[in-house]
Structure 1
Amino acid sequence: MRGSISRLATQSVLQNGPLHTAPLAILPPKPLYRRILRAHRKHLDSRMRLLGDEYVKSEFRAHRNVENPVHIIGFLSEWQMYAQKVEGDSWRGAKIEEGKVQKMSDQQIGQLYELMQAIKTEGEPGEGGQGDPKI
């Protein structure tokens, strides 16, 4: 993601694209990244925070050089919705929408599975966890 990402995010607010019915104010990458880490610090226990922080860092690193504006806007808007859910504690017990799962690539499904396994491993007694994970 280059320096023009802020400009691109601002332009998406002005346009009513096919992904949104109403314009949304999308935060630029750095402020969004900070907001997510701050939300983790305030709303997650230490084990979930460690897992979440590492995941967020790796995703933002992996998308640093993306050039496609549609992918950039999708990436930022999904992470912004995630931050809002964590801040409002509405993510606990929530399930991924079927439509989003259908649109995922095999690599994304594999990543989701690995994340699920990491959460389960964290929650197992005797393996550093303390019972069921709080999701």
Structure 2
Amino acid sequence: MMGRNCHVPADKIALLHGGFCLTSFLKFNMSRATFKPLIPPLVLYRNILRAHRQMPLALRAVGDDYVKAEFKRHKDVDNPAYIVGFLGEWEKYLDTVKQQTSPVAEVISASQDAQAAIEGREQQGPAWGKRIDPQLIERMSDEQIGQLFELRKESKRSSE
């Protein structure tokens, strides 16, 4: 469990942080053989919601609702490997959102729109999100694929 009643084997050290029980608060970087600490769950959650403030209002609403639901849904997970994977994937998401909402990304988008106007093409506006690796989709459960489909449907509806 990631709550206060966490039961961890005696040979492992449990870290209670932000209501999450983690037996490992580190992720191993195989290429450099170094450790990179994960962002604590509560800090990560807050950082994601802060990053969403830079997004268009409709996308922010969908994103905020989804993040809140996912963190709540996974609050009682007690598998350390799953927790590390969960937090790692949300860190990647946070990095992507920060990258796509940075002032540099806005300048690039404006430049591309200006070039499109000159060439008589339709202007695209800022690009949000990124393509999902097909191998990742193959490893998803039916429930996860269903959630992904619902999220996609909701984000398309919000952007119209």
Distance 2:90 2:155 in 1: 19
2:139 to 103, 109, 112: 103
Q: Which structure features the higher share of strand residues?
A: 2
Distance 2:25 2:43 in 1: 17
Distance 1:44 1:82 in 2: 14
Distance 1:24 1:92 in 2: 27
Q: Unaligned 5+ residue runs, structure 2?
A: 5-14, 106-126
Q: Which structure features the higher share of helix residues?
A: 1
% of aligned pairs identical? Answer: 40
Residues 71 and 121 from structure 1, CA distance in 2 versus in 1: closer, same or farther, beyond 3 angstroms?
Answer: same
What's the CA shift for 1:24?
A: 2.5
Deviates more, 1:83-92 or 1:50-59: 83-92
Give 1:131's aligned residue: none
Distance 1:122 1:45 in 2: 10
Give 1:53's aligned residue: 64
Q: What is the number of equivalent residue pairs in this alignment?
A: 118
RMSD over aligned Cα atoms: 2.1
Q: Kindly report which structure 2 residues correspond to 1:1-12, keeping only aligned pairs within 5 A, or say none.
A: 1-2=2-3, 4-6=15-17, 8=22, 11-12=24-25
Q: Please, what TM-score do these two structures have when normalized by structure 2?
A: 0.66
What's the CA shift for 1:8?
A: 2.9
Q: For 1:24-46, what per-residue CA distance to the aligned partner results, in whole angstroms no more than 9, with x for missing partners?
A: 221111000000000001x2111
Give 1:38's aligned residue: 50
Q: Which runs of structure 1 show a deviation greater than 6 angstroms over 4 or more consecutive aligned residues?
A: none
Distance 2:93 2:73 in 1: 18
Distance 1:87 1:107 in 2: 28
Q: Which amino acid aligns with 1:52?
A: G
**Residues 1:119 and 2:155 aligned together:** yes
Distance 2:62 2:159 in 1: 12
What's the CA shift for 1:103?
A: 1.1
Q: Please, what TM-score do these two structures have when normalized by structure 1?
A: 0.77
What's the CA shift for 1:92?
A: 2.7
Which structure has the larger Rg? 2
Q: Which amino acid aligns with 1:59?
A: E
Q: Kindly report which structure 2 residues correspond to 1:11-90, keeping only aligned pairs within 5 A, or say none.
A: 11-13=24-26, 16=28, 20-21=29-30, 22-41=34-53, 43-89=54-100
Q: Unaligned 5+ residue runs, structure 1?
A: 125-135
